[in-house]
Structure 1
Amino acid sequence: MYSSFRRYLGDLREETLLGSIRDSLASVKVQKFQLVTLDPHPKDGGVFVRFKYQASNEDHALKTIKEEIEKCFVESGGVSSWIGRRRTKVWVVQGNPWPEDMNRFASKMIKISFDGPDVPEEALYSLLRPYGRISDITDVGPAPAGTLRSTTVNFERLKAATIARNTIHGLSVQVPGGSTTRLRLLTVYIPEFKLYKWLKANTLERLYTPAPSVLPSEEVWQERKDAKDAIRAYLTDQPTTVAFVHGPQGSGKTTMVESVTKECNRNRLLKIMWKEDPRNRLSRTAEIQTGYRPVFSFLNSMNNLVDLASVGLIGQKAGFSSSIEEQLQQTLDIVATALKKVGALHREQIEKEMEKRDKEGGSSKESKRPQQDSTKGRSQDHDGRRGYVAGNGVMSELGVGDEKINDEAAREGKRENRGEEKEDGNKRQKNDVKASEPLPVVVIRSYASKGGLRREEIMNVIASWAARLAESQASLKRLASRLRAGAEFLMMTIFSALPSKPLNYIALYDADSSNALSFVKQKLHRNNADLGLTDEDTAYVERLGGRSSDLESLVYKVDTGASIKDAVEDIINRGVGELRKNAFGDDAEDAKNLPWTREQAWSVMKNLAKDGQVWIDLIPYYDVLFNFPFKGDESALRSMEEAELINIATHNGRPSVIRPGRPVYKYVFERLVNDPIFRATQEITYNEKLIAAATETIKSCEVELLSLKEIRTAFSRYSIWRDPANNRANYLLGQMHNAESTLQKLQATNAELKKVFRTGSGN
């Protein structure tokens, strides 16, 4: 509303403002300045001035023209804004502005995407600081398939962010290494104000409520239907256990959980987004999302300083500070107490309703039940003839068994009892379901992300908390993760805390080729872009496999005008750039920070890039693990799986085979392996490691042979039939021969590979 009012007021004064700007610019004569056009941008409240000039030094000329224009504006009194304030400041547009008129309103936060290598934080700060003070620049995180890596910049003032977005968008920046990166700026509008949320909920959302979102692949993927039914069944059951929703990144776990929760009309109490942050922001995020008040996060730093000072004075801590685990445990304990109170109050209400209904039902049954004679009633309960024949004391004297037994009446009584028991069982089941309906659903997301050295401790806190909630039946717990290793670790932790309770494990998988193709056709038809897929288009779609995020990216690119072939090629090419950076690092220093070596990454990719189809392309796990360059280093393979470079499939609970982390990675690996320069670089580095190992083998054999020579000289007279030293020497000579042959072959191979650098091409 604020933006619309300002825009309408600006439209009324547009001609006057443009005329004032023309008059002020008419007096600018430096560098043969010549005004071309004035392009107003009503949405952000500015004007783009297009002009011509003549100069030998472009930077100096633009600086001079900018200073002269500001001087002319000062002399003329400036340009009036929509509220009457006079402005005299101008900025040089360095990029290619994008004057859009979409509903992306101005914000202090802008998102900068890198179309190329990442721009260092120092360079971004130097580029953006002239427009206004910057509060924070977030770290560049991993991006989904088909999207650019990005960072978020927070300005202190709205005006600074708006100016930066309109002047820097599309600018090409030089990065270390000689590459060029094109910046793409986008406004990020996050309404965090309670007043705005209240107004929106009570005005727009009451007048217009959009249709509930449906999972994009629900209609064509049977696997997703099964997973959705499993989640729905869990929601209708008693909260006695924990459900794990597991699947690869981009498989739609969050969308499915939210969709089923809304369909079942269940409230989600909290949704913890676990991030890799070893600082106090971790506990503060949990406190905010759980409604833990008040929050004095600044006291943690003060307590740490007090403890540090006490160590220097008395040699031990004063006990003021607490670890992240303790802070998190305290927050979750309070949440658990609140959930238990809510659950107990709800059960009490349900029990009162059940007692009231039982009394009403019991009185009606008593009034309808026919009165039976005492003899008939006794005959249904006991066959008195047995006691009469046996003569067991009082029973025979009473003569209860003299009369006939009414078998039909007995059977009717049993049927009536069974019917009542069945009816009571159904009532109890309905009451149990009803008792669990209003309970909140606790969703914990991204708990298996990297958490540094305290990752296991934090996950233990989560596991113990979830187990306590399950035992107390205070809420329904659901944990979603994209990492199988993290899910297995947390499952084992909770299983140890709940040994007698079964754990629900709900997995989401990629679709097969036919379902993936049906999904693409359905989405294109729904978006009025049904192209009628040819055999070539079908083959290109099959390259993406069944990963939901890749298929969504394909549909988006086709909707924007790209062909299916170009869209798939763009996804693969972007994957090549991302994989080269994530798996091998930008340079040698960056590669040292990776939890695996370049040789290990190259070995896996080269094997996975061999001939084969997307769905059967795999290599044996233990064959890779116990051979060079891993040599039993299982942590490197697990780290590569966490980074989604590979996927380790299991059989009977043990690792079995290794597949690409995403179906499209099979073709990404092929592109990397078939790049002659990159292949030669990695092969030379890989062979150098083998050459070093062969050289070390030869040297160790030489040293041992010299020792055997001395042993043979000293103890040869004690050997009667065979000489053990001679046998060992023959073995070592064979090892030296094999190592020397390998060494010569590898050196010859490296010599051939180095020729690629001179020619710039290769097979």
Structure 2
Amino acid sequence: MISSRGVLRQWQRPQRLLSLQRQCIHSIRDQRPKPSVLSLTSINRRPSSSDTGEDETGHINIAPNEGIFFLDNILPLKLQWLTRLPFVDGSSIVSAYKKVNSPNIALADPNGIVSRALPSNLPIKITSVIPRVREGGAYIKFQYDASIAAEELEGTVKEYLKEKPIKPWFNPLRQVRAFLVRGKPWIEDLYRLPSSKVKVEFLPTSPEASAAELSQETLYSLFRRYGTILEMVSQPSESKVAPRFAYIYFSRVRFATMAKNCMHGFTLVEESGGGKSGTLLKLSYEPRVRGKWFRDWITSHPRIVIPVLAALIAALSVSIFDPIRTWSIKVHILHGLHLENNKYYQWLRKQLSRGYDYIRFSPKKAEDDTLDAIWEDRHSQMEQLKTWMSESLDTFIVVQGPRGSGKKQLVEQALKDEPHKLVIDCKKIQEARGDSQTINAAAAEVGYRPVFSWMNSFSSMIDLAAMGTIGTKTGFSETVENQLVKIWANTSSALRSIALSCRKKDDRDASLPDDEWLEAHPEHRPLVIVDNFLHKSAESGADLVYDKLAEWAADVVTHNIAHVIFLTTDVSFSKSLSKALPDRVFRLVTLGDCSPEVAKKVVLRYLDADAVSKEGEQKLTPSQLRNDINELDEVIQVLGGRLTDLEFLARRIHAGESPGRAVKQIIEQSASEILKMYLLDAEKSWTPQQAWVLIRELAANEELRYNEILLNDMFSKNGEQSLQTLEQAELISITSVNGRPNKVKPGKPVYLSAFQYLTEDEVLHSRLDLTIFKMLAAGENSTIQSCEEELQKLAALPGTPAQMKPRIKYLLDKAAASQDKIVNYEAKISRLKKILNEKY
């Protein structure tokens, strides 16, 4: 039997002694009965076997005649993440491997591998098998005869595995290894992944004792047997960290797992270099940081790395995403992905429509001619637009008119044969909230994809971090202005590509450069329609969108890339567009309301749109069958010629209402809108009193002199600005003569009747007049107070100078006149209060 005092020397036993071990084991086996080998199936059923040690203590209790083998490479490494899943632990993973075990190939069941790894005639009794899923191995606890040394059993198992190697399916290049556990292993189920770097701590065997710091030679002699060691790093001598430790770097992770499981808790005696009271070894895995030098260089040179990173991202965006975005814009303009343009879809739709018409026994009308009267009335303007499209000069066209005058319908009808049209609705862009939403809305209008609007906030954070790190901005972040410029630039590229796609090699102008060819062929330029230009332009942030859009449109027109038509309700559009083209004259088309004759035709054609019999013969139209159609002449005079109002009137008449009743409903609805938008909402650039003065005076006079309004006391402060804002809000319209404003009219013809309807409401009239008279009385009181203060100063002078008497008389007369006005206002206020107290 081998002495325990010579453990270190016993590990270095020459290979020739292995035969003596086998002879000794065989002689002992022949002289005594063989111990029974415990079945592995019954082992798994024992309550003492656990993946956290016996009785969940984290340790394995060993009697004097008991030992532990550790077998590695029986399970894949790094399966610990599976145990974090619900209802999954080490035993369930082992069971799963057991189910997929196939005897025809390498073993997958840990118990099967254990049964093959140990010789069948080995004189031991296996008491438990504890798998270590996290480290890909298993502990085998066994009992043996006291007359046999555990080291001899270890040598026998190693020799057996050399003769009959076991290579599992998941790691067929390396075989199963077995070593005797010499320490006291700590079996834990913490989330700690194995690593090839092992930390060895030197602890004392008792609290009052001291531990020795092992040399690298001693560590090498202890741990080399478990696998190749790449490096050993001892703790610096000047370090004050306790306990003392050393790092061992193994070439493979499985070498580290074997060393940790076999040597954790091992006590090195004094004879082997462990000090007077011995040294206890505690082992733990240390995660290895790979590529640390690269990370350190990156973090140490932010002035170089951050700008280079920004340049790489910008280059990636330009080289990869910009061509995709340009292609996406082209598809959007050409409607390449629209189902309606597919020839098979068009054929199917045509066949289905024919079948539907056949079932109805009536031919389908080719086109709804409801608005033909409008196009007939505006034929000259439509022809003018077509003529401008064929000219080679700059086509910077503006179609201006009040809301509901049919600007967009006119352009679409006049230029319906244009094959390539891009419509940009400024209303959607301007009403977007936040920078990201604005960028997304602008990109959606032109088909700009992909768009990473969230990168705007992310890049701003990077720039902020760079300011704190290197002291300067990297230029990585982009403002909304820069993003819009990129979107319009890609749109220009797409429009140019579409225009040049019509160029052929056999054209007579094939030898011309691209710019000259575009100038010579205006008929191939795409059409850009900018709708709702200057929509709510008074709001903050809107000028940026409109300015950039105008600059882009000017560039597109100047370079003969496309025709551009602006649709706007703003009469002051020239202020914004002149910034982009200061030296050009805009082509202007101004739309107004229809004449009463045309308005009547529009309503009648809407009513008679479906008046076709089943046999195709024309009978009396619905308008001819109505008894109240004579009212239409009268209501048209009240309603006016605004296209949207006419369509609303026609729908109500078509629903069964009489023309008089329909117009009355429209007037009441318009009055409610005016009351809500202009009189009750105080958070505007005008006051409700100013709006009421205009409503009251226009209801009585139909039109007012511009300067007459400015002389009103309600418009003494910011009068012109309030009038311009009310014009933008479409409560009023201002006409000009020789460039100066001269008349003020209602914003829509129907508003005149709505103004009169509002003034007929005595309670509303009294309430709003009451606020006006209170403001006027307060103003006169302020005038009297200022006169009194000046008179007090004059009275303080010694005597009454003759030169000041006219001034005193002026102040007294002014105070008396203000007092007379106050008396008059107070009387009116009393009368209005009486009305408000008596009526609902």
TM-score (norm 2): 0.52
Q: Which amino acid aligns with 2:571?
A: R
8 Å CA contact 2:518–2:560 kept in 1: the answer is no
Match of 1:573 among 653, 665, 668: 668
Match of 2:683 among 575, 584, 593: 593
For residues 753 and 350 of structure 1, the distance between their equivalents in structure 2, rounded to whole angstroms, comes to 83
Does 2:327 match 1:237? no
Q: Deviations over 1:230-259 (max 9, x none)?
A: 211122222513000111111111112122
8 Å CA contact 1:239–1:474 kept in 2: the answer is no
8 Å CA contact 1:554–1:564 kept in 2: the answer is yes
For residues 596 and 193 of structure 1, the distance between their equivalents in structure 2, rounded to whole angstroms, comes to 48
Does 2:417 match 1:327? no
Cα 1:241–1:194 shift into 2, 3 Å: closer
8 Å CA contact 2:526–2:562 kept in 1: the answer is yes
Aligned residues: 474
8 Å CA contact 1:343–1:473 kept in 2: the answer is no
Cα 1:196–1:760 shift into 2, 3 Å: same
Residue correspondence of structure 1 range 293-372 to structure 2 within 5 A: 293-307=449-463, 319-343=475-499, 346=502, 349=504, 352-354=507-509
Q: How far 1:583 moved relative to its partner? A: 0.5
Cα 1:484–1:205 shift into 2, 3 Å: farther
Residue correspondence of structure 1 range 473-492 to structure 2 within 5 A: 473-485=560-572, 487-492=573-578
Q: Which residue of 1 aligns with 2:695?
A: 605
For residues 309 and 343 of structure 1, the distance between their equivalents in structure 2, rounded to whole angstroms, comes to 45
Q: Which residue of 2 aligns with 1:658?
A: 744
Cα 1:198–1:466 shift into 2, 3 Å: closer
Q: Which residue of 1 aligns with 2:602?
A: 519
Residue correspondence of structure 1 range 59-98 to structure 2 within 5 A: none
Residue correspondence of structure 1 range 354-753 to structure 2 within 5 A: 354=509, 435-451=521-537, 452-485=539-572, 487-496=573-582, 499=583, 501-527=584-610, 528-530=621-623, 531=626, 536-585=631-680, 591-611=681-701, 617-631=702-716, 632-711=718-797, 713=798, 716=801, 723-753=802-832
Q: Which residue of 1 aligns with 2:209?
A: none
Cα 1:441–1:537 shift into 2, 3 Å: closer
Q: Which amino acid aligns with 2:715?
A: F
- % identical equivalent positions: 26
For residues 710 and 350 of structure 1, the distance between their equivalents in structure 2, rounded to whole angstroms, comes to 98
Q: How far 1:350 moved relative to its partner? A: 8.3
Match of 1:266 among 397, 406, 419: 419
Does 2:444 match 1:288? yes
Q: How far 1:760 moved relative to its partner? A: 1.0
Does 2:367 match 1:277? no
Q: How far 1:479 moved relative to its partner? A: 0.8
Q: Which amino acid aligns with 1:271?
A: I
Cα 1:301–1:626 shift into 2, 3 Å: farther
* Local SS of the residue matching 1:444: strand
Q: Which residue of 2 aligns with 1:25?
A: none
Q: Which has the larger radius of gyration?
A: 2
For residues 435 and 603 of structure 1, the distance between their equivalents in structure 2, rounded to whole angstroms, comes to 55
Q: How far 1:315 moved relative to its partner? A: 8.0
Residue correspondence of structure 1 range 186-205 to structure 2 within 5 A: 201-202=345-346, 204-205=348-349
For residues 351 and 708 of structure 1, the distance between their equivalents in structure 2, rounded to whole angstroms, comes to 96
Q: How far 1:650 moved relative to its partner? A: 1.5
8 Å CA contact 1:443–1:478 kept in 2: the answer is yes
Q: Which amino acid aligns with 2:601?
A: S
For residues 463 and 764 of structure 2, the distance between their equivalents in structure 1, rounded to whole angstroms, comes to 52
Say what the alpha-carbon RMSD is for the aligned residues. Answer: 3.1
8 Å CA contact 1:511–1:547 kept in 2: the answer is yes
* Local SS of the residue matching 2:714: coil
Q: Which amino acid aligns with 1:479?
A: F
Moved more, 212-221 or 472-481: 212-221
Q: How far 1:610 moved relative to its partner? A: 0.3
Q: Which amino acid aligns with 2:479?
A: S
For residues 307 and 204 of structure 1, the distance between their equivalents in structure 2, rounded to whole angstroms, comes to 56
8 Å CA contact 1:215–1:256 kept in 2: the answer is no
For residues 495 and 629 of structure 2, the distance between their equivalents in structure 1, rounded to whole angstroms, comes to 56
Q: How far 1:542 moved relative to its partner? A: 1.6
Q: How far 1:215 moved relative to its partner? A: 7.2
Q: Which amino acid aligns with 2:699?
A: A
Cα 1:433–1:472 shift into 2, 3 Å: closer
Q: How far 1:223 moved relative to its partner? A: 4.7
Q: Deviations over 1:117-140 (max 9, x none)?
A: xxxxxxxxxxxxxxxxxxxxxxxx
For residues 246 and 442 of structure 1, the distance between their equivalents in structure 2, rounded to whole angstroms, comes to 16
8 Å CA contact 1:701–1:733 kept in 2: the answer is yes
Q: How far 1:510 moved relative to its partner? A: 0.2
Unaligned runs of 5+ in 2: 1-334, 354-363, 611-620
For residues 433 and 488 of structure 1, the distance between their equivalents in structure 2, rounded to whole angstroms, comes to 26
* Local SS of the residue matching 2:736: strand
Q: Which residue of 1 aligns with 2:410?
A: 256
Cα 1:627–1:529 shift into 2, 3 Å: same
Q: How far 1:459 moved relative to its partner? A: 1.8
8 Å CA contact 2:698–2:745 kept in 1: the answer is yes
More helix by share: 1
* Local SS of the residue matching 1:353: coil
Q: How far 1:438 moved relative to its partner? A: 2.3
Q: Which amino acid aligns with 1:564?
A: P
Residue correspondence of structure 1 range 142-157 to structure 2 within 5 A: none
Cα 1:313–1:584 shift into 2, 3 Å: farther
Q: Which amino acid aligns with 1:568?
A: V
Higher relative contact order (CA 8 A, sep 6+): 1
* Local SS of the residue matching 1:647: strand
8 Å CA contact 2:629–2:659 kept in 1: the answer is no
For residues 333 and 211 of structure 1, the distance between their equivalents in structure 2, rounded to whole angstroms, comes to 43
Q: How far 1:525 moved relative to its partner? A: 3.2
Q: Deviations over 1:434-469 (max 9, x none)?
A: 822221101111121125222222222112111111
Q: Which amino acid aligns with 1:643?
A: A
For residues 568 and 444 of structure 2, the distance between their equivalents in structure 1, rounded to whole angstroms, comes to 21
Q: Deviations over 1:145-202 (max 9, x none)?
A: xxxxxxxxxxxxxxxxxxxxxxxxxxxxxxxxxxxxxxxxxxxxxxx99686678945
8 Å CA contact 1:622–1:656 kept in 2: the answer is yes
8 Å CA contact 1:306–1:320 kept in 2: the answer is yes
Unaligned runs of 5+ in 1: 1-191, 358-430, 586-590, 612-616, 717-722
* Local SS of the residue matching 1:473: coil
Cα 1:505–1:725 shift into 2, 3 Å: same
Q: How far 1:356 moved relative to its partner? A: 9.9
Cα 1:269–1:757 shift into 2, 3 Å: closer
For residues 678 and 552 of structure 1, the distance between their equivalents in structure 2, rounded to whole angstroms, comes to 30
8 Å CA contact 2:370–2:609 kept in 1: the answer is no
8 Å CA contact 1:236–1:433 kept in 2: the answer is no
8 Å CA contact 1:239–1:475 kept in 2: the answer is no
Q: Deviations over 1:651-681 (max 9, x none)?
A: 1222221111110000111111110111111
Q: Deviations over 1:509-547 (max 9, x none)?
A: 101223222332333233543036565442122211111
TM-score (norm 1): 0.57
Q: Which amino acid aligns with 2:598?
A: N
